[in-house]
A = this chain, B = another copy of it.
Amino acid sequence: MPGIKEVADRAGLSVATVSRALGGKANVSPKSRERARRAAQELGFVPSYHAASLASGRNYNIGLVVPYVQRWYFASVLEGVSETLLDAGYDLTLYNVGEQTERRNSVLNDFLLRKRLDAVIAVALVLSEAEIMQLLAVRRPLVAIGGALPGAASIRIDDARLARLVTEHLIRLGHTRIAHMTGDTELNRDFKLPGIRLSGYQAAMAAAGLPVHPDWQVAADFTIQGAYRAAKRLLGTASERPTAVFAASDEMAVGTILAARDFGLQVPRDISVVGLDGHELGEAFGLTTIDQNPRGQGKLAATTALELLDTAWNSDADAAPIPAPDYEYPTDFVIRTSTAIPPTKP
């Protein structure tokens, strides 16, 4: 495998000049640059990232921490981040930490801090203050999506407000018996999202003076199949069946629609269903939802991380800490055909 030395020899230049030439640095004559390029090309030279990182302190590698790659939201964020980073010539190191706190911690300690990541993007990650301090102490950009981390840059949507919005949509249509399918937090107590969306629902109901029957709050695991089972319970046994369901995710909304169909209920004639996410599947089900475009959020997060890195590298090491931006990502209320006025009493 050729090293930069071989390239230098072949180009008739010094190692230093070749390094500058290939690295796009200034102070290299066009002629030398071209010679270096050609020599590298001919030898099939590929610089060693490790050596370059060691010498320069830059890694061109950003870490992404997600709890569940399998789920639509996280996979979408991942996709967005991946695309942006790939285009920028950065590597993406993925930490799919799952719900086990233990693994999450070992990831934080053993990996994130090992000086090989330039920045970290954390999706729906809840950290203790000490952990955040630890991460910020290494002076690397930290970007949070789907759950802010104090001190870190963040891309977020106002989940409480959006949850309230969709609930109000149902209320405005005339519904009074509105159920909510929330997220299961048994497996991961750190996962705050379900609680936030739930609070938006409750706020809207309270503001409208509507009762929330305990049976109308069910929990599922954010998957279609989980929601399907939960909705069967909801629609099968609720003493007074709700006329509308707000599911905390589109996948769960779809599961709910499927369960409703199984009971012979027509959506939206007999029951209205709304979700919140913007899942591609929503269209096939005519699902009314709010599109939060997680892929776009991922792209924005990656861009933000890259920008922060740029600023960091172009400023003094002892300069004031860079202020971390906080973006509220725009969302889109998509009204389709899964919502309508409630059925008139038979």
Contacts and interface: CB of A to CB of B under 8 A. Distances in A.
Interface of A: 1, 46-51, 53-54, 59, 61, 69-70, 72, 75-76, 78-79, 82-83, 86, 89, 91-98, 103, 107, 109-111, 113-116, 138, 223-225, 228-229, 255, 258, 261, 280-281, 283-284
A83 B99 CA distance: 12
B78 A69 contact: yes
Given A69-B75, A96-B86, A103-B86, A116 B225 contact: no
A223 B113 contact: no
Given A82-B69, A110-B89, A115 B229 contact: no
A82 to B, nearest CB: 4
A163 to B, nearest CB: 25
Contacts of A96: 78-79, 82-83, 86, 92
B115 A86 contact: no
Given A92-B95, A225-B281, 5 more contacts: A46-B110, A46-B115, A92-B94, A92-B96, A225-B280
Contact of A75 (B70, B86, B97): B70
A120 to B, nearest CB: 13
Given A51-B54, A281-B224, A86 B95 contact: yes
Contacts of A86: 95-97, 103, 107
A69 B92 CA distance: 13
Contacts of A255: 284
A117 to B, nearest CB: 9
B116 A49 contact: yes
Contacts of A59: 50
25 contacts: A1-B115, A46-B109, A46-B114, A47-B114, A48-B114, A48-B115, A49-B115, A50-B115, A50-B116, A61-B93, A69-B82, A82-B95, A83-B98, A86-B97, A86-B107, A89-B110, A91-B93, A92-B94, A92-B95, A94-B94, A223-B280, A225-B280, A225-B284, A255-B284, A261-B261
A79 B75 contact: no
Contact of A111 (B50, B91, B114): B91
A280 B59 CA distance: 38
Contacts of A97: 86
Q: Which 3 A-B pairs have the closest CB atoms?
A: A82-B96, A225-B284, A49-B116
A301 to B, nearest CB: 15
A182 B69 CA distance: 26
Nearest to A109: B46
A19 B173 CA distance: 69
A309 to B, nearest CB: 17
B83 A79 contact: no
A75 B76 CA distance: 11
Contacts of A261: 261
A23 B75 CA distance: 35
Nearest to A82: B96
Contacts of A280: 223, 225
Most buried by B among A69, A110, A138: A69
B283 A225 contact: yes
A258 B51 CA distance: 55
Contacts of A110: 46, 89
